[in-house]
């Protein structure tokens, strides 16, 4: 059994004009839609050393840890943001990441874009934070919703993609938001399967790897 970790650094997001957000000092973060309160940090687990010799990776557990709830500037009661920690067997486009915020890995359509499936979603934790009357004076948000929709399905893929997504809800009073570092954790074991099962799993992993990759 092996435990693997990947880290996403802190993110600093700032208002520069009414409803116009930009990245502050945020190593490894990007803003796919200029001006929008939508930010992504991404990396991947390299599993090539574990899936060698025709072995399948079976996940025992997956999770994420972070230090504190988000910190805000000039926030008022009712301001909110959504934070998604996501680990997948295939690399997602920015459009698919937006779609995931709307539908997760459930059925649905968004501008004709196919979304990620339940099986491809190794781990997904969706949290919503808000400023309430008690915390508006000192800038910390409180957790109001926390859900998980991952599968922990085995894979023959040599990569697991790791994302942290922050979406700031529109029409907010706050002028800044800071998120703290997060660590993604996978615990897995490489095991041999019957040949026909492994070949089918390998075929599926190969098909997923043909998607455009972003290192």
Query: How does the average pLDDT of the chain come out, rounded?
Result: 87
pLDDT tens-digit map of 56-66: 888 999 999 99
In a domain, 14, yes or no: yes
If we measure between CA atoms, which residue out of 91, 124, 93 comes closest to residue 106? 124
Residue 214 covered by a domain:
no
pLDDT band at 199 (very low <50, low <70, confident <90, very high): low
- On the 0-12 / 13-18 / 19+ scale of CB atoms within 10 A, 100 is buried
In angstroms, how far apart are the furthest CA atoms of the chain? 61
What is the spatial distance between Cα 129 and Cα 199, in angstroms, rounded to a whole number?
43
Please give the average per-residue pLDDT across 142-159, as a whole number.
Answer: 92
User: Mind listing the pLDDT tens digit for each residue in 54-111?
Assistant: 678 889 999 999 999 999 999 999 999 999 999 999 999 999 999 999 889 987 655 5
pLDDT digits (tens, 9 = 90+) for 14-61: 998 888 999 999 999 999 999 999 999 999 999 877 756 667 888 999
| Res. 146: pLDDT tops 70 | yes
Report the predicted TM-score, pTM, of the whole model to 2 decimal places. Answer: 0.86
Mean pLDDT for the stretch of residues 126-146:
93
Q: Is residue 185 pLDDT above 70, yes or no?
A: yes
Q: Is the CB of residue 183 less than 8 Å from the CB of residue 7?
A: yes
pLDDT at 215: 44
The reply to whether 215 falls in a domain is no
pLDDT band (50, 70, 90) for residue 193: low
The average pLDDT across 190-198 equals 61
Give the range among 113-117, 139-143, 155-159 with minimum mean pLDDT: 113-117
Task: Compute the average pLDDT of residues 121-142.
Answer: 93
Structural domain of residue 19, as residue ranges?
2-209
Domain count, the chain: 1
């Amino acid at each position: 059994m092996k435990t693997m970790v990947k880290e996403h650094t802190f993110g600093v997001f700032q208002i520069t004009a009414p409803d116009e957000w930009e990245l502050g000092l945020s190593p490894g973060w990007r803003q796919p839609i200029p001006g929008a309160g939508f930010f992504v940090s991404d990396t991947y687990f390299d599993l090539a050393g574990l899936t060698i010799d025709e072995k399948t990776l079976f996940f025992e557990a997956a999770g994420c840890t972070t230090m504190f709830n988000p910190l805000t500037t000039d926030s008022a009661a009712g301001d909110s943001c959504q934070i998604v920690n996501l680990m997948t067997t295939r690399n997602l486009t920015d459009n698919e990441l937006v779609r995931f915020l709307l539908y997760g890995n459930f059925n649905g359509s968004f501008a004709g874009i196919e979304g990620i499936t339940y099986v491809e979603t190794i781990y997904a934790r969706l949290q919503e934070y808000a400023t309430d009357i008690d915390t508006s004076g000192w800038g910390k948000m409180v957790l109001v919703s926390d859900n998980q929709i991952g599968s922990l399905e085995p894979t023959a893929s040599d990569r697991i993609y790791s994302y942290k997504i922050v979406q700031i809800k529109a029409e907010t009073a706050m002028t800044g938001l800071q998120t703290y570092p997060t660590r993604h954790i996978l615990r897995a074991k490489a095991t041999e399967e019957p040949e026909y099962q492994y070949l089918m799993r390998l075929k599926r992993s190969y098909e997923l790897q043909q998607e455009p990759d972003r290192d």
